[in-house]
Amino acid sequence: MKGRVLIAAGSDSGGGAGIQADIKTVTALGGYAACAVTALTAQDTRTVHDVHPVPAAFVARQMRVVLADIGADCIKTGMIHSEPIIEAIADTAADHGAGVPLVVDPVLVAKGGAALLEPSAMRALAASLVGRADLVTPNIPEAERLTGLAIATVDDMARAAERIHRLGPEAVLVKGGHLESDLVTDLLSHPGGLERFEAPRIESRHTHGTGCTLASAIATGIAQGMDLVSAVARARTYLRRAIEAAPGYGAGHGPVNHGVTVKPIG
C-alpha cells in the first residue's frame, strides 16, 4: 500500500460522496487513507437533510495526531462548511504538514442542490485554502463562484482557470461536466502549460460524489509520486469506469462503484 492521503472532509451518510467516497477511492487505487471529519450529514441520493459541523479545534486535532504519527504524502480537502474549520485546516496543514502537497476540492453545493459551505466562508476558502493549494479542482459552478465569471464554453473555462491562478494555487483543474455537450472536457492549468482532457459523456444519473472521487483519485496519484498530468489522467479513467459500473442505488443521484478496480477476494 503506497501513498498516504489525509482527507479533511464531511461524512456522507449515504456513502456516495464525502469521506466515504474519498476513503474508497484511495483504497481502490492502492493508497492509504486517513481522515479528519469536518461535518456529519444526514444525506441520501436526493438531498442533504441536515448538517452537523464538527468543532474546528477537533478537526485540527484529528489532523495533527495523524500527521505526527502516520504522516501524509498528500492532504486533500472536501466539504468544510464554515470559516473556523477552514482556518483550522489551513493552519494545521501549514504548521504540521509543511511540504505536503495540498489538493483542494472547493465543495460548495451537493449534487441535489443543498448548500454545503456557509456563504460567509467563501472568502476564507479562497484566501486560506485555494490560495495555498498545489491543485484546486472546481467544477463549473464552483469556478464561477471563485471568479465571478460566467462559464459557457471551454474558452471560458480557460479564462476561469487563469483567474483562479491569481488567488495563488500552483495548478487548477476546471471540470467541464456541467457544460451542455456530448463531450466532457476538463482543463488542467499548471506550470507546464494547459492540458485538455476529453471523453464522451456517460449518460447516467448515478454521478453522486464524482467531484470528491476525482479529487481523491488525483491526490492518491500525487501521494504515490505520479506527475500531475499522469495523476489526472489515471483519476479520470478510474472515475469513468466507476460511473459505468454504478450499482444503481437510490431514487436520486446514485453513487458510482468505487470498488471497480478492486478484485474480489476468494
Site of grid cell 461535518: 39
Looking at residue 107, its pLDDT comes to: 86
* Residue 161 cell numbers, joined: 482557470
Looking at residue 1, its pLDDT comes to: 61
Q: Does domain 4-133+205-244 have CATH number 3.40.1190.20?
A: yes
Told to judge if 211 belongs to the known catalytic residues of this protein, a careful annotator would answer: yes
Label the pairing between strands 74-77 and 102-104.
parallel
Please tell me which residue in 25, 41, 77, 210 is annotated as part of the active site.
210
Told to judge if 16 belongs to the known catalytic residues of this protein, a careful annotator would answer: no
Told to judge if 77 belongs to the known catalytic residues of this protein, a careful annotator would answer: no
CA–CA dist 180, 224 (Å, integer): 34
Please tell me which residue in 25, 38, 77, 207 is annotated as part of the active site.
207
Looking at residue 116, its pLDDT comes to: 74
CA–CA dist 163, 116 (Å, integer): 23
Please tell me which residue in 3, 15, 18, 211 is annotated as part of the active site.
211
pLDDT-derived band at 66, boundaries 50, 70, 90 = very high
Domain boundaries along the sequence of the chain: 4-133+205-244
Helix (H, G, I), strand (E, B) or coil at 139: strand
- Predicted TM-score (pTM) of the model is 0.96
Which pLDDT tens digit goes with each residue over 196-219?
999 999 999 999 999 999 999 999
Share of the chain above pLDDT 70, in %: 95
CA–CA dist 23, 224 (Å, integer): 15
Looking at residue 84, its pLDDT comes to: 94
The pLDDT of 16-40, averaged and rounded, is: 97
CA–CA dist 166, 195 (Å, integer): 18
Please tell me which residue in 35, 45, 212, 220 is annotated as part of the active site.
212
Please tell me which residue in 209, 213, 221, 254 is annotated as part of the active site.
209
Which of left, alpha, beta for 179 (phi over 0: left; psi -120 to 50: alpha)?
beta
